Amino acid sequence: MTRLARIEKGVEIPPHGLTGGARQKYPWATIQPGDSFKVRTKKPTTIRGIYLCAANQGMKVSVRREPGGFRVWRIDGMKAKKK
């Protein structure tokens, strides 16, 4: 038999925030267009999550594989280089 969750009254909802009070894993609040950071992972699901997090922050990113993981660049707001 499954126990039902206990109902609690009077618990305030915390304000919305970038991370809901948790420590950020990636530097979305401070990264500027053209900046990059390294992600040490081999999991494609992590990279998919980075694209989603960036989009939720209104940013566009580009990701490239490099030794030991991936590098993520913020690319929105950058002017295209002329060839």
| pLDDT of amino acid 3 | 82
79: confidence class by pLDDT, cuts 50, 70, 90: low
Q: What pLDDT digit, counting tens, does each position of 38-53 carry?
A: 999 988 889 999 999 9
| pLDDT of amino acid 25 | 84
Burial 2-37 (b: 16+ CB within 10 A, else e): eeeeeeeeeeeeeeeeeeeeeeeebebeebeeeeee
| pLDDT of amino acid 2 | 74
**pLDDT: is 55 or 2 the higher one?**
55
